[in-house]
Structure 1
Amino acid sequence: MAPQSASGATADAANAIPGVDEIVSSPNLRQIANLPKQAPLNATNSDIAFQGNYAFVGNYNGFVIYDIARPSAPVIVSQVLCPGSQNDISVYGNLLFLSTDSSRSNDSCNSVGQSATIKESWEGIKVFDISDKTSPRYVKAVETDCGSHTHTLVPAKDGTSVYLYVSSYFPSDDYPDCQPPHDSISIVKVPLGTPTDAAVVATPNLFPDGGYKGSNTSATSGCHDITAYPARDLAAGACMGDGILMDISDREAPRVIDRVRDTRNFAFWHSATFNNSGTKVVFTDELGGGGAATCNKKVGPNKGADAIYDVTGSGDARTLVFRSYYKIPRENADTENCVAHNGSLIPAPGRDIMVQSWYQGGVSVWDFTDSANPKEIGYWERGPLSATQLTFGGTWSAYYYNGHIYSSDQKGLDVLEIDEQSIPGAQARHFTQLNVQTQVEYRD
């Protein structure tokens, strides 16, 4: 059966395009803070990690640590200049990890861009000590094949180390450190007591058959992002032309137990999110690479969207079964880059609710408890940056953390307050640490 749309669109919402920089929202979401980017960290904002009263925001020029003890008045604690797109970020204890996926002259924070055709070029993982939030200290670099576009933190079962599942793609015969075929991920092991011993310990091949060869969908040459659910020994990978489900009970030897494709509507499998019970996966399609206007009538409701899959069966017989698509029900201007991007669950026992970034499409809160009929229950967005030309901007990641939504927008850090009474059962859980691609189970 061909996948059918399950958008929660309403005619009024879909037809309302705000003016340039005009803020519009549903009644249950409101902005309570915006802290603009500050030089030299005024490049593209990327992902967010959280720990205690701090938010850590990646930026193509490095990373910023914010004190969010008062969500309505975030304060910059420190800025670390360390260029190397896209600086995907995670934290664990006193350690912070950054992904470098642009060829650099060396592994230092003083490096400059350099062609990947040069053997000495460097890409990979950087490790920082953040025990002093006002003065992070760079302690280790680990080079990985094809760099590190994103990484996913997976704690070891014995608690003595963490693993980083490193995703990268686009190999070339011209790149000495990124040769095709590149059907693998790199696994970096970081001993917590001696992080300077961090090293690649495995490069498992996830696609022995080479993965999807490409047509309407990007050919698979690695993964873009992986989300792990360590408590359930599961991970879901968004791998360009393939979506995969993995068993990660052996942290150094993940096994693919199911694989799905959508050659009709998905262009680029970008990211994945489990529901709290691990019985569903939301995959996102980053049609246009984040730089195109895809939230319009021309593209329609099923492309550049989310796809909801149920996880059926048990053990190695678990399979991913498509149920529906979700896309924001508001039409965007042709000058706005808009596509499904990074989001997280909102803790609501018994329900499946997610908050998600859509670049200039803004922040959407939506319910996928009924896998076949997802619906939006809240939104917040700025109008287009320009009325005359397509301009990159908007929110890269929007995550729920301890009662508020934090968004790494290209205009800076946005903090949104949500009326949790509009989400029956929602709870302002007190997480002490949150890396969204390392899902943590919440309980009633």
Structure 2
Amino acid sequence: MASSPPTPRPRYASARRGLTGLTLAGAAALVAGLLGPASASADDAFVSDADTSSNVTHVTNVPKTESMSDFNSDLAFTGDYAIGGNYNGFVVYDISEPEDPQIVSEVLCPGGQGDVSVSGDLLYFSVDYPRAGTECGAASVPTTDPEGFEGIRIFDISDKANPQYVAAVPTDCGSHTNTLVPGKDGEHEYVYVSSYSPSERFPNCQPPHDKISIIEVPVDDPASAELVDAPVLFPDGGNTGTSGCHDITVYPTKDIAAGACMGDGILMDISDPAAPVVTEVVRDTNFAFWHSATFTNNGETVTFTDELGGGGAATCSEAIGPERGANAIYAIGDDALEFQSYYKIDRHQTATENCVAHNGSLIPVPGQDFFVQSWYQGGVSVIDFNDPENPREIGHFDRDPIDDDRLVLGGSWSAYYYNGYVYSSDISRGLDVLKLDDPRLRAAERVRMDEFNPQSQPEYRPGRGEGR
């Protein structure tokens, strides 16, 4: 579901750090790169190194394994499982006991940050570094290679211990992120693919790239998934620097979507999910890179994030200030998005900690608006933004710097609330599990979901014990 690389990403040809010397590539190509059940090495007794507020408990950490030694990225959830993206592939965690998660399987399948969405037994997996073929194990190729594959890989994860590659759909400029959109007929679903950074040198990523790609998936025949449209969102060109979208969040029950598109924030009408229509565009001179979005429960307000510095800079400082690298909250008016306020953590970080607004989700308190959000090495923030003009932090989880002497990329990429716990995907240190103990959030513990893709936002209704 939604994310970006820890550094601004040029589209380049050579294999990136962590992917060279891939010893399992040949075997991975035969099936799906499955490494089988695995367990990470950890101390017998878990000891947290984090500072937490009194209402947040760091329950446990699942370290990364050697095979997934590259950057961790986004998360999606299905039943008793969390799926964690990684630049080397993806990990399936059994979270039936949230305080003792277990790694069920790891699929070695490099191709970029590995954004993930789940739908029933299907996993949609983003590929945005070109490969020599569609299946796992295909070698890296130059972006100038017209035969190079980038786009969406589809896996069958009905057997969590043995995910199987199903098909792949190429898209222009690949897939940096992907968003699952349910169909209206119950027979199809759609994947909105966001990508950016075109160049005349890239045969499969030509400018202008003011569009997204839409993949239609027959629910009963996912191997027949195909690209059905690539709508241009900015027919007159976007803001300076806009060349595609970074991420899209949909709110299916409201038929709306919010796009974070580099230099622009947009709203879309998705009443026909195969043909989204842009209804509003907003710009902000304080924003460097429109990164992601989240709606309030009633769908009347939307929060956009600004990934100043591409995630690789130390921007949570007094010098940068509270209005850059922050969230911007907008009311959805009849004719325009109306600015309400900025929110940025006021826990200033050190010069060696990359820190900026990143991925988060609503905490499912029906009818209320509480948000949990990642800030890289700024940790995880729990935010009350019931008053969109005065959002405030009500809880936090904040580790020590990875390195006191130099800037090292790391921290929480994504933090999402799912069935009673917060799961944080740490770039370098694995999966963290947090427990919130706050009377304002108790109602969320009664909300149970069978599936959760944070970029396909459910509605939490008062009086209902589950997301809709």
Same fold (TM over 0.5): yes
Is 2:131 the partner of 1:104? yes
Residue in 2 that maps onto 1:18: none
Q: Which amino acid aligns with 2:279?
A: I
Residue in 1 that maps onto 2:9: none
Is 2:424 the partner of 1:397? no
Which residue of 275, 281, 297 maps to 1:276? 297
Residue in 1 that maps onto 2:8: none
How far apart, in 1, do the equivalents of 2:120 and 2:442 lie? Answer: 33
Residue in 2 that maps onto 1:62: 89
Residue in 2 that maps onto 1:131: 158
Question: How many residue pairs are counted as aligned between the two chains?
Answer: 414
Residue in 1 that maps onto 2:452: 434
Is 2:306 the partner of 1:288? no
Which residue of 257, 260, 273 maps to 2:282? 260
How far apart, in 2, do the equivalents of 1:78 and 1:161 lie? Answer: 28
How far apart, in 1, do the equivalents of 2:106 and 2:85 lie? Answer: 10
Contact 1:35 1:412 in 2 (8 A): yes
Q: Which amino acid aligns with 1:125?
A: I
Contact 1:190 1:199 in 2 (8 A): yes
2:57 counterpart SS class: strand
How far apart, in 2, do the equivalents of 1:240 and 1:225 lie? Answer: 9
Residue in 2 that maps onto 1:51: 78
Residue in 2 that maps onto 1:353: 370
- Please show how residues 161-200 of structure 1 align to structure 2 within 5 Å: 161-200=188-227
Q: Which amino acid aligns with 2:243?
A: S
How far apart, in 1, do the equivalents of 2:172 and 2:379 lie? Answer: 34
- Please show how residues 334-349 of structure 1 align to structure 2 within 5 Å: 334-349=351-366
Which residue of 359, 380, 384 maps to 1:367? 384
Unaligned runs of 5+ in 1: 1-20, 214-218
**RMSD of equivalent CA atoms:** 1.1
Change (3 A) 1:278 1:422: closer
Residue in 2 that maps onto 1:236: 258
Residue in 2 that maps onto 1:76: 103
Q: Which amino acid aligns with 1:435?
A: N
Contact 1:161 1:189 in 2 (8 A): yes
Q: How far has the Cα of 1:113 moved from its partner?
A: 1.8
How far apart, in 2, do the equivalents of 1:26 and 1:364 lie? Answer: 10
Contact 1:35 1:414 in 2 (8 A): yes
Contact 1:99 1:126 in 2 (8 A): yes
How far apart, in 2, do the equivalents of 1:424 and 1:56 lie? Answer: 25
Q: How far has the Cα of 1:424 moved from its partner?
A: 6.3
Contact 1:367 1:377 in 2 (8 A): yes
Q: How far has the Cα of 1:427 moved from its partner?
A: 4.0
How far apart, in 1, do the equivalents of 2:419 and 2:443 lie? Answer: 15
1:267 counterpart SS class: coil
Contact 1:163 1:190 in 2 (8 A): yes
Contact 2:420 2:444 in 1 (8 A): no
How far apart, in 1, do the equivalents of 2:173 and 2:152 lie? Answer: 11
2:114 counterpart SS class: strand
Contact 1:85 1:102 in 2 (8 A): yes
How far apart, in 2, do the equivalents of 1:251 and 1:164 lie? Answer: 9
Q: How far has the Cα of 1:22 moved from its partner?
A: 4.1
Q: How far has the Cα of 1:425 moved from its partner?
A: 4.7
Is 2:316 the partner of 1:298? no
How far apart, in 2, do the equivalents of 1:43 and 1:138 lie? Answer: 21
Q: How far has the Cα of 1:422 moved from its partner?
A: 4.6
Residue in 2 that maps onto 1:381: 398
How far apart, in 2, do the equivalents of 1:392 and 1:111 lie? Answer: 27
Deviations 1:188-239 (A, max 9, x none): 01111111100000010000011002xxxxx110000000011111000000
Is 2:246 the partner of 1:224? yes
2:67 counterpart SS class: coil
Is 2:441 the partner of 1:414? no
How far apart, in 2, do the equivalents of 1:97 and 1:257 lie? Answer: 27
1:322 counterpart SS class: strand
1:231 counterpart SS class: helix
How far apart, in 2, do the equivalents of 1:127 and 1:76 lie? Answer: 21
How far apart, in 1, do the equivalents of 2:430 and 2:446 lie? Answer: 24
Q: How far has the Cα of 1:348 moved from its partner?
A: 1.7
Deviations 1:226-279 (A, max 9, x none): 00011111000000000000000111111110000002x100000000011100
How far apart, in 2, do the equivalents of 1:391 and 1:293 lie? Answer: 10
Q: Which has the higher contact order (CA 8 A, sep 6+)?
A: 1
Q: Which amino acid aligns with 2:284?
A: D
Residue in 2 that maps onto 1:12: none
Contact 1:420 1:427 in 2 (8 A): no
Runs of 4+ aligned structure 1 residues displaced above 3 Å come to 422-428
How far apart, in 2, do the equivalents of 1:420 and 1:141 lie? Answer: 44
Contact 1:28 1:422 in 2 (8 A): no
- Please show how residues 12-27 of structure 1 align to structure 2 within 5 Å: 22-27=49-54
Identity across the alignment (%): 59
Deviations 1:371-402 (A, max 9, x none): 11000000001010011100000010000001
Contact 2:367 2:460 in 1 (8 A): no
Residue in 2 that maps onto 1:3: none
How far apart, in 1, do the equivalents of 2:458 and 2:73 lie? Answer: 21
2:68 counterpart SS class: coil
Q: Which amino acid aligns with 1:93?
A: G
How far apart, in 2, do the equivalents of 1:423 and 1:433 lie? Answer: 20
How far apart, in 1, do the equivalents of 2:441 and 2:454 lie? Answer: 20
How far apart, in 2, do the equivalents of 1:428 and 1:51 lie? Answer: 17
Residue in 2 that maps onto 1:7: none
Contact 1:420 1:426 in 2 (8 A): no
Deviations 1:283-323 (A, max 9, x none): 0000011111000111111100000001122xxx4x21110
Unaligned runs of 5+ in 2: 1-47, 463-468
Residue in 2 that maps onto 1:154: 181
Q: How far has the Cα of 1:118 moved from its partner?
A: 1.2
